[in-house]
């Protein structure tokens, strides 16, 4: 990898360029693949042909990859209405937690819902307030 600011060759996991002291992916003066000089209006490197994304585009793509296909509204409503059965946990991919709630509720003949009910209301609060992600760590949409 090459620094997009000064063209210095760096390790792939470098966060700060040792030559210029800047974030190596934020600039647009050099190609990150081959180190050739580029300009801000170029969409691909004239030397190696790789597509040149500006930092703002890269951040946008990374954020899009971090969004779950699971709905916050669906998960929250499941937590409120079916919470003691752990349905929302299964939906979000947290199967161990879902099985725990389901077994506590069913094996106790429903008495366990005195424990799993408030637990699920707390989960609903966390889901609706955006503090809960799916099992892959992706933000609920």
Average pLDDT on 7-17 reads: 83
pLDDT on residue 25: 79
Between residues 91 and 40, the one the model is more confident about:
91
Residue 22 DSSP code: S
pLDDT band at 59 (very low <50, low <70, confident <90, very high): very low
- The runs of H, that is alpha helices, within 3-112 are 55-65, 72-82, 87-92, 95-107
pTM of the model: 0.56
Q: How many residues in total does the chain contain?
A: 141
Domain ranges for the chain, please list them. 1-65, 72-128
């Amino acid at each position: 990898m090459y620094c997009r600011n000064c063209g210095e060759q760096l390790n792939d996991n470098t966060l700060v360029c040792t030559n210029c002291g800047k974030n190596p992916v934020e600039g647009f003066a050099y190609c990150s693949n081959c180190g050739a000089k580029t300009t801000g209006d170029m969409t691909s490197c004239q030397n190696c042909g790789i597509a040149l994304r500006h930092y703002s585009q890269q951040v946008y793509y990374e954020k899009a990859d971090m969004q779950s296909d699971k709905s916050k509204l669906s998960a929250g409503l499941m937590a409120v209405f079916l919470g003691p059965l752990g349905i929302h946990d299964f939906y979000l991919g947290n199967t161990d937690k879902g099985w725990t709630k389901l077994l506590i509720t069913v094996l106790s003949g429903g008495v366990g819902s005195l424990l799993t009910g408030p637990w699920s209301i707390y989960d609903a609060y966390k889901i609706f307030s955006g503090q809960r992600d799916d099992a892959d760590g992706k933000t609920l949409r």
